[in-house]
Amino acid sequence: MVQAAPLVARIKVDRKQVGLKIGIPCERGFQENRVAITPQGVALLVHNGHEVVVERDAGIHSFFTDQDYAEAGALLVDGPTEVYQCPLVVKVGPVPAEELHYLRQGQMVFSALHLPSMKSGDLKEIIGRRITGVAYEYLTDRSGFQPVVRSMSEIAGTMAILIASEYMSNQFQGRGRLLGSVTGVPPTRVVILGAGTVAEHAAKAALGLGSEVALFDNSIRRLRRLQLLLGRPVYTSVIHPSVLVSQLSTADVVVGAMGARSGRTPMVVTEAMVMGMKAGAVIVDVSIDQGGCFETSRLTNHTQPVFEHHGVVHYGVPNIPSRVSQTASESLSNILTPILLEAGQRGGAEALLWLEQGLRAGVYCHQGHLTQRHLGETYHLPWTHLETLMGSGM
């Protein structure tokens, strides 16, 4: 039964500095190459009196060696058992099903949820383990932004243009086109669907290379904001089918960068529209992890990233930041390390929950209770506001 959210009760919180014990396991998710905390982050945590336990080879796919972690002061262990004995566990992807049995009551786990692929049974087991789970999808900073989502979106937006450039070249069986402009040759045309962070960085990358850019979104406010951020006039339009068809027919690259407020991303490009595109054009559907915004899109992976349909190359990998794992890991570590340091300064991660609304926003389960409305409605599970639980002293 859902309860209304009262204000969090004001109680005395112990702000005494404490030493944290933090576990960093290997990522076993499919083609997940990132690591949550880099050796530089570990060194900073250790320098401030915290203990960091790292599973061997945790950073290998981000090109951080075990020696790098050892020199940073981490304790290296074989296998996940000792890592999950830590009161704080920090991951990139969700805890895999085969590791859920390691979770124990009172533990706090930072990770992504990857909602489209989450199984109801796994979520129920996580709740039943009575941990405190913090999801990157919900975590906010003091300005109200979602730092992890924003950071990964910046990477995905920039990479979308670089990926498209690859598949336009001869090297990747493209039509031998340069994404950008050369004196005397008409510039490539890039259409971007959406006006959020992914779209912003895709547009910046495309404009930086000299391409012509057209932006589509149903929010005039977002379009205006993005045009101001770009600092130059670009073609903008609300999503009107006849206008979109015209722009798609001459596009060399189309980037799907639309978000979903809840549920599936709106599908705005039909198969008929794709059939009207130029042969050799490239679609990069960054929204594929939320269903995609092209009728012809489907999930691909880093091993087989593209397929051709109606003469158009489609890229549908859902985890684009993992393609540049070291950069993505450094960005994630730069967000998480200060949170962990502040937790130590404020008396522990649980104490920090009382003091930081942004961290509370990231909590999706707490001591056996689901605390996110969206998850409750999606998986038909009872949920309770975290503030209600904390106000009742649970």
Catalytic amino acids? 114, 289
Long-range contacts of 163-171 (CB under 8 A, 24+ apart): 163/284, 163/305, 163/315, 163/320, 163/323, 164/190, 164/253, 164/255, 164/282, 164/284, 164/315, 165/209, 167/282, 167/306, 167/313, 167/315, 168/252, 168/253, 168/280, 168/282
What string of DSSP letters covers 349-380? HHHHHHH-HHHHHHEEEETTEE--HHHHHHHT
- Residue count of the chain: 394
> Taking a C-beta distance cutoff of 8 angstroms, is the pair 160, 286 a contact?
yes
> Taking a C-beta distance cutoff of 8 angstroms, is the pair 199, 257 a contact?
yes
> Taking a C-beta distance cutoff of 8 angstroms, is the pair 61, 361 a contact?
no
| Interatomic CA distance for residues 127 and 10, integer angstroms | 26
| Interatomic CA distance for residues 96 and 94, integer angstroms | 6
Determine how many CB atoms are found less than 10 A away from the CB of residue 178. Answer: 16
| Interatomic CA distance for residues 258 and 251, integer angstroms | 18
> Taking a C-beta distance cutoff of 8 angstroms, is the pair 109, 95 a contact?
yes
